[in-house]
Amino acid sequence: MINLEAGLRRARVSTSAVFAAHGAVTGTFAARVPWIADHVGVGPGGLGIALLMPGVGALLAMPLSGRLVHRFDLRSLVRVLMLGWCVALLLPALPTTLWLLCVTLVVYGAAAGLADVAMNAHAVLVEERYGRSVMSGFHGWWSLGGLGGSAVAVFAAREGLGAPAHFAITVGVLVAVVLVASLGILPHRPEPSLEEPPAFALPSRAVLPIGLIGLCAVFAEGASLDWSAVYVRDLLNHPAATAAATVSIFSVCMAAARFGGDRVVQRFGAVNTVRISGVCATVGALMVVLFEPVVLVITGFGLLGVGIAVVVPLVFAAAGRSSEHPGRSIAGVAGIAYGSGLVAPGIIGGIAHVSSLTVSFCVIVGLMVVMTLGASVLRR
């Protein structure tokens, strides 16, 4: 019994490290996008097209991941896909033309999507072994890894270190982290009697409602990350430093809420937690839309971050328990949720173009209400 408990604790620590490594790759890349744009020589239009490609790659690859999770041992799969994701960070620093950058970012996004589904499938397995909610904490480590990766990237940029060297050093460190962490990953293969899922599986009807809850949360996250700084700078006429601080506060609030989310889930259950979170997020979004004092608007973005923080982990956990093929279900939910994050910035920008940024954020208010009212789909 003691050995089993120690092994489970080790698996939890290892899974947290894997999530942090995944987030660190994302944060590192995001912070060096300006260097990549200068290196390739693209303007805002070309860069916007290129930055769509990781989402395209992830959406194309995720439906394949259900078959991979079914066919291969989970420990080996997480190790291989995470190593591939870390090494993929080297790719964006190589191209010198826009079309090559787009191709490399499709591959980069595909690696991200496959690794994401595999590590979440293992996180569901760990949570099942624990018998209580631990998923939110894993996603908290992802957020912390993203913040750490971006912070190191800012330091590297200030020191004049080019992205190729910076990415190579980061990859070396993260590969070592993944190799050590993978030793604690739980070995697991599905029952041989289970029918193998299709090679390219679209979301099933069982997970579609769960995915729509994730869609609401990820849409709000993507829109806030990309537009909160613009909202504070252009609409409220505050300096760039205040605008940048808004993004940081939103991200930190999300990370902090995820680390405390498991205790809330254990006390109130998944459905009530999403309802409470939805009310918090709705209040935050309304503060952004209705108030003009920047302190209140930034507070609104912080509440929005707190409100959506635990929803995505709970959605992944619910998807993993919804069928005999957790990999397929998680892939389906991830495709729906991350697809919304892909289109969110464009939708917000389009509505702002024909109306105003305030009106566009009313869409987020509506989605937060839908998320609150639809929380019961996680009951199962």
> How many Å apart are CA 323 and CA 321, to the nearest integer?
6
From residue 188, how far is each of 20, 173, 182, 291 by CA, in Å? 22, 27, 13, 51
Question: 251 with 335, same domain?
Answer: yes
HEC per residue, 319-332:
HHCCCCCHHHHHHH
Asked whether residue 197 is domain-assigned, the answer is no
Question: 102 with 228, same domain?
Answer: no
Asked whether residue 249 is domain-assigned, the answer is yes
pLDDT band at 93 (very low <50, low <70, confident <90, very high): very high
Which of 189, 210, 236 delimits the end of a domain?
A: 189
Q: Is 190 helix (H, G, I), strand (E, B) or coil?
A: coil
For the chain, percent of residues with pLDDT exceeding 70: 92
Question: 215 with 185, same domain?
Answer: no
100 vs 5, more confident: 100
Verdict on whether the full-model pTM lies above 0.85: no
Average confidence (pLDDT) over 222-237: 82
Query: How many Cβ atoms sit within 10 Å of the Cβ of residue 239?
Result: 10
- Tell me which residue range forms the domain holding 302: 202-380
Question: 286 with 363, same domain?
Answer: yes
Which of 132, 167, 189 delimits the end of a domain?
A: 189
Has residue 175 got a pLDDT over 70? yes
| Tokens 């209705």, residue located | 290
From residue 362, how far is each of 240, 284, 287 by CA, in Å? 24, 11, 11
222 vs 138, more confident: 138
Asked whether residue 194 is domain-assigned, the answer is no
From residue 139, how far is each of 80, 124, 175 by CA, in Å? 20, 12, 20
Asked whether residue 6 is domain-assigned, the answer is yes
Has residue 87 got a pLDDT over 60? yes
> How many Å apart are CA 80 and CA 83, to the nearest integer?
5
How many folded domains does the chain comprise? 2
**CA-closest candidate to residue 274, choices 286, 291, 288, 261:** 261
Residue 55: predicted pLDDT: 82
pLDDT band at 274 (very low <50, low <70, confident <90, very high): very high
Residue 201: predicted pLDDT: 54
Question: 57 with 129, same domain?
Answer: yes
Asked whether residue 142 is domain-assigned, the answer is yes
| Tokens 């996008």, residue located | 33
Question: 177 with 285, same domain?
Answer: no
77 with 214: CB under 8 angstroms?
Answer: no
For the chain, percent of residues with pLDDT exceeding 90: 36
Which of 189, 222, 244 delimits the end of a domain?
A: 189
Asked whether residue 195 is domain-assigned, the answer is no
Asked whether residue 21 is domain-assigned, the answer is yes
Residue 61: predicted pLDDT: 85
Q: Where are the alpha helices (DSSP H) in the chain?
A: 2-31, 33-40, 44-71, 74-88, 98-130, 135-158, 163-181, 208-230, 240-290, 294-309, 311-320, 326-354, 357-373
CATH number where 319 lies: 1.20.1250.20
Question: 160 with 233, same domain?
Answer: no
Query: How many Cβ atoms sit within 10 Å of the Cβ of residue 132?
Result: 10
**CA-closest candidate to residue 120, choices 16, 271, 264:** 16
Residue 246: predicted pLDDT: 84
Question: 105 with 41, same domain?
Answer: yes
Question: 214 with 179, same domain?
Answer: no
Question: 47 with 85, same domain?
Answer: yes
Average confidence (pLDDT) over 318-339: 73
Question: 94 with 165, same domain?
Answer: yes
Asked whether residue 277 is domain-assigned, the answer is yes
CA-angle at 321, arms to 310 and 77, nearest 5°: 90
Question: 216 with 92, same domain?
Answer: no
**What does the DSSP assignment read for 283-343?**
HHHHHHHH--SHHHHHHHHHHHHHHHHTHHHHHHHHHHTSSS-HHHHHHHHHHHHHHHHHH
